[in-house]
DNA sequence: CGGGGGTTTGAGTCCGTTCAAAATACGTGG
DNA sequence: CCACGTATTTTGAACGGACTCAAACCCCCG
């Protein structure tokens, strides 16, 4: 990840082909028949986004959906006072912007690349056409959206019943699944694509509080932080945070 | 509402007919063609639930969806410690249980009648059949689910950025749209179907805090409470709560 | 080498919680 | 219709977690 100038896949190489896409069998598009994948392949527009670049912006007319091939993307929502809050993260294999596609004409959130990203755009008309020809695609999105909803409500419940430290532990646990690599000594290492402010947004808290929790985690040997690099010496210690009784 | 022994519609009268349903043109079923409405009409099972009765319970296998004709329903989720928290309310014209229908096999929440309710059950097979024959129905649910999701995330943002008093004002404002009736003197009156505990659940707070906020609202003449009866003497005062600057 | 943003630390405050008790409303049976 | 037991709601006092404001720090980059 840190080793720069790597131009290997998934960022370089030949123009991507939907038939060979690594997500071919796992995204909501997996229900598509050969012909429909061909449509997808012909109409998709693939782009690379550098960290900080926007894929779409809140308030823009919703012109289609975006399928993430690789990279991490922040979905942010601007509150009335203009402050953009990170509401969720999305990664390779996931489709973004589909919610606003079904709900209305306008993106209600912004999507910003957190790392270097490869993203395929599928325009409105093509999605509509595929949806018409293949009702299973709609069911796929229905299924996906239902999970999103479960997730959102789970978060809501947690924010009411768990303190910030515990929610931070939950967050680390979720991030580790995607970013951590195991070391020889049994510890886990990862580099977060998130600023302290972003972490605070996710937790519904403030950067100062995040810093203090990090400090407390280090004191208790739950996790060691150095900038965006995190070491989890012992996963069990972290698991104890979310469930002290071990039940 | 308070005048008891009224056996008029929507609770008495002839067996309900989907073609004459007041929600015929407004629910997600409105996309159905004549034939399909006939299917609905033939297969639906209509029931009356008294306050406190369950429509379905968390953990039950999901056997279909329920369409609310009349009444208020609480969707509750049990946390690991067995305490059932009110997560949202649903009313006439809305379909419940559809989320779990699309997401999995099991209801992840319970539905409890808050008032006397008339509810139509549509079994799994019928819904599947309608969905197959009429892709627009899927899109309808997609649309509905997208709004649910927006709503859930809106709530999440609010719970992080607004204090409990302001969230309570938001709640009253939302409840008034459905329950309040205007009085001659310009004030609004309503009877809530919610206990203090339920209100606290929605706000992500405690009954004691709710009581204190009510007390504060009365001191400031924003709202007057007497049990579950609420008087809002001046709507502007309530609106000021959610937006002190009037911008 | 001097900005400058993000991050950390510190001190003080406040909102909301907790625990406990009192008051009130509610349902039931006499 | 009233008495009684129970559940809900309200009140009080004290505590504590997280926030605010402010300053110092640090790292990254030019």
pLDDT band of A7, cuts 50, 70, 90: very low
Kindly list the protein residues whose beta carbon lies within 7 Å of any strand D atom.
A 163-165, 204-206, 208-209, 227; B 195-197, 207-208, 210-212, 214-215, 225, 227-228
Q: In this predicted model, what pLDDT tens digit does every residue of A208-239 receive, in sequence order? A: 999 999 999 999 999 999 999 999 999 999 99
Element (H, E) at B103: helix B98-103
A1 touches chain B (CB under 8 A): no
Give the CA B116 to C1' D19 distance in Å. Answer: 44
Which B residues 53-82 touch A at CB under 8 Å?
77, 79
Distance B202 CA to C8 C1' (A): 35
| Residues lower than pLDDT 50 in chain B | 1-9
Mean pLDDT of A173-196: 94
Please say whether the beta carbons of B131 and A173 come within 8 A.
no
pLDDT of residue A193: 95
Determine contact: A164 vs chain B, CB below 8 A. no
Model pLDDT, residue B12: 53
CA–CA separation, B243 vs B247, rounded Å? 7
Q: Which of B181, B174, B189 is nearest to B228 (CA)?
A: B189
Could B77 and A150 be called an inter-chain contact, meaning their C-beta atoms sit closer than 8 Å? no
Q: What are the strands, taking DSSP E only, across B36-187?
A: 45-49, 54-56, 64-70, 73-78, 84-90, 95-96, 110-113, 117-123, 181-182
Choice among A12-21, A47-56, B161-170, B210-219 with the minimum mean pLDDT? A12-21
Contact yes or no for B161 and A131 at CB 8 A: no
Taking a C-beta distance cutoff of 8 angstroms, is the pair A32, A134 a contact?
Answer: yes
A102: pLDDT strictly greater than 60: yes
Q: Considering all nucleic acid strands, name the nucleotide whose C1' atom is nearest to the C-alpha of residue B199.
A: D9
Q: Is the CB of A207 under 7 A from strand C?
A: yes
Peptide bond into A10 cis (omega under 30): yes
Are A232 and A171 spatial neighbours (Cβ–Cβ below 8 Å)? no
Q: Which of B82, B104, B141, B160 to mutate to test the interface with A (most CBs of A within 10 A)?
A: B160
For chain A, what is the mean pLDDT? 90
Report pLDDT digits (tens) over A77-95.
987 666 789 999 999 999 9
User: Does the beta carbon of A103 lie under 8 angstroms from any beta carbon of chain B?
Assistant: yes
pLDDT tens, A104-146? 889 999 999 999 999 999 999 999 999 998 889 999 999 999 9
| Percent of all residues in chain A with a pLDDT value above 70, rounded to a whole number | 91
CB-nearest partner of B149 from A143, A145, A160: A145
Measure the CA–CA gap between B48 and B69, rounded to whole angstroms. Answer: 10
Q: Strand D: which nucleotides have any atom within 7 A of a protein Cβ?
A: 8-13, 17-22, 27-28
Per-residue confidence (pLDDT) for residue B234, from 0 to 100: 93
């Amino acid at each position: 990840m840190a080793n720069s100038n790597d131009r290997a896949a998934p960022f370089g190489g030949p123009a991507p082909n939907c038939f060979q896409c690594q997500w071919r069998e796992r995204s909501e598009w997996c229900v598509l028949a050969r012909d429909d994948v061909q449509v997808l392949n012909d109409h998709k527009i693939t782009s690379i986004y550098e960290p900080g670049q926007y894929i779409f912006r809140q308030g823009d007319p919703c012109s289609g959906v975006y399928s993430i091939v690789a990279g991490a993307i922040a979905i942010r929502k601007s509150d009335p006072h203009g402050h953009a809050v990170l509401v969720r993260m999305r990664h390779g294999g996931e489709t973004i912007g589909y919610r606003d596609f079904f709900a209305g004409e306008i993106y209600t959130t912004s999507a910003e690349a957190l790392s270097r990203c490869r993203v395929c755009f599928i325009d409105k008309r093509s999605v509509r056409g595929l949806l018409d020809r293949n009702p299973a695609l709609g069911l796929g999105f229905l299924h996906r959206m239902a999970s999103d909803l479960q997730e959102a409500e789970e978060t809501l419940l947690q924010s009411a019943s768990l303190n910030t430290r515990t929610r931070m532990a939950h967050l680390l646990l979720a991030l580790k699944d995607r970013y951590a690599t195991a070391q020889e000594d049994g510890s886990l290492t990862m580099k977060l694509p998130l600023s302290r402010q972003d972490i605070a947004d996710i937790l519904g808290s403030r950067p100062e509080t995040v810093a203090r929790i990090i400090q407390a985690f280090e004191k208790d040997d739950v996790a060691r932080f150095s900038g965006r690099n995190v070491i989890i010496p012992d996963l069990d210690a972290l698991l104890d945070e979310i469930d002290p009784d071990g039940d």
